Amino acid sequence: MSDDPFAASDSILVAADPETVFAFLDDPANHAAITPGLTDVRNVEPLENGGKRLSYTYRMAGMGIDGEIVQTVHDPPERHVFDLRGRLTGTIDLRLAPAEGGTELTYGATYGLPENTLTRLGAPVIRRFNERQLRAALENVAARFDEG
């Protein structure tokens, strides 16, 4: 992992093949269901690369942050890359690889937060927050397939 306090990365085994996991992650409504704090996904537009552009609202520390996500890489069944634009900036990189028992899903992210009380809390607090959010999203994806 990077020393950047706004970067986080983690992996999990998902009990489904990469094609199925990729298709699940290709639906923006599923991101709202698995990502803590993501409260609204709207204005979804298809892009020529197979990805999507959409608007979102993310709640952090009681405040809503609106922005746009543009999928820059749509490489079935191996990779999704999203650029976050607006007050919350960054990149989300989802990589899928076949593994015994299903798919190894790796979630890497780098975030740029708006300057406010959150960023003044300091790097260790921000790093732990990002790592917890990312881990929760991975566990939520895995749980969707464990239920089936």
Phi/psi of residue 2, nearest 5 degrees: -70, 160
User: What values do phi and psi take at 76, rounded to 5?
Assistant: -65, 140
> Which sign, positive or negative, has the C-alpha torsion 58, 17, 11, 140?
positive
Looking at domain 7-146, its CATH class is alpha beta
- Domains of the chain, by residue range, sit at 7-146
pLDDT tens by residue, the chain, 148 residues: 445 656 889 999 999 999 999 999 999 999 988 998 898 999 999 999 999 999 999 887 777 889 999 999 999 999 999 999 998 889 999 999 999 999 999 999 987 766 654 555 566 666 787 788 899 999 999 999 986 5
Spatial distance between the Cα atoms of 35 and 52, rounded to a whole number of angstroms = 17
